Amino acid sequence: MYSSIVRLQNAFGFFTTVAFVVAAFIAASDLLSPRTPSVGVLKTTNVQVVRGRPHYYSHKKEEYAIIKFSLDADLSSLFTWNTKQLFVYVTAEWPSAGGSGSGQNATNQAVIWDSIITSPSADHLANLGPIAMKKLKRSAQGKSIDPSRGKLSIKNQRPKYQITHPTGKLAEQDNVVLRLHYNVQPWVGILTWNQDVDFWKWKTFKNNLSKKFALPALKKKDEKKAR
């Protein structure tokens, strides 16, 4: 009746059941920790539109925008024991010609800057050089959760990505707006993004929009740069 194979099967079955139940509890525990992210400042500091090749593989010259910005935000409540990393990103949004409004109705959206903030328990997974890695690990020595990493204060940041448009035209575009987003990556469970409505203990991400601004006219400086 109870051969060793049956015992082995039962042990393995019980192990997987327990593992899945524990994982489900960990995932559900996310709901119990309040999320109260807030934004102090999100504003542009310098905007330029240049005509050129934004990437080495661009096959044609096009207009691209370089949007420098300042950011002040407190995302520390997003770091819990089930947070593996926080992906923070800033998008620029603008309506198409003939379109209307901004925000969720924006028809063009492009990430201009992003940042991966690992939880100290996930530091070893980050893609960093040995010196940066050492520094990162030392910054939270002995801690497995470090909410202070969620406090962002960035001044006059250069964008990581120069934004373009399929038409190749961007200069003198009106009604552009910057928006801050986040994505919480758990160790196990559901991926979550910033919300527009309150969900029990998770609060809406407010003030994450900059003022509307217009992209300036084309800057005539790279004529001599072009081969």
Partner 1 sequence: MLSSLGNPRQAAAQLMNFGLILSSAFMMWKGLSVITDSPSPIVVVLSGSMEPAFQRGDLLLLWNRNLMAETNVGEIVVYNVKGKDIPIVHRIVRKFGTGPDAKLLTKGDNNAADDTELYARGQDYLNRKDIVGSVVGYMPFVGYVTIMLSEHPWLKTVMLGIMGLVVVLQRE
Which stretches of the chain bind partner 1, using CB under 8 A?
1, 3, 5-6, 9, 23, 55, 57, 84-85, 87, 89, 91, 96, 104, 107-111, 114, 116, 118, 122, 125-127, 161, 163, 165-166, 181, 183, 185-191, 193
DSSP E strands, 32-149:
38-52, 62-74, 83-94, 108-118
Nearest C-alpha neighbor of 173 from the set 107, 120, 118: 107
Shortest distance (Å) from residue 223 CB to partner 1: 26
Cα 17 to Cα 12, 22, 26, 30, 156, distances in angstroms: 9, 9, 14, 21, 51
For partner 1, the closer of residues 29 and 183 by Cβ is: 183
Tell me which amino acid residue 65 is. Answer: A
For partner 1, the closer of residues 105 and 155 by Cβ is: 105
State how far the Cα of 63 lies from the Cα of 162, in Å rounded to an integer.
Answer: 10
For partner 1, the closer of residues 80 and 91 by Cβ is: 91
Cα 9 to Cα 104, 170, 223, distances in angstroms: 52, 63, 73
Tell me which amino acid residue 205 is. Answer: F
Shortest distance (Å) from residue 85 CB to partner 1: 6
For partner 1, the closer of residues 127 and 141 by Cβ is: 127
Shortest distance (Å) from residue 182 CB to partner 1: 9
Shortest distance (Å) from residue 57 CB to partner 1: 7
For partner 1, the closer of residues 45 and 109 by Cβ is: 109
For partner 1, the closer of residues 70 and 185 by Cβ is: 185
Shortest distance (Å) from residue 107 CB to partner 1: 5
State how far the Cα of 134 lies from the Cα of 142, in Å rounded to an integer.
Answer: 14
Report residue 14 as tokens: 């019980």
CB atoms closer than 10 angstroms to residue 218: 16
Shortest distance (Å) from residue 126 CB to partner 1: 5
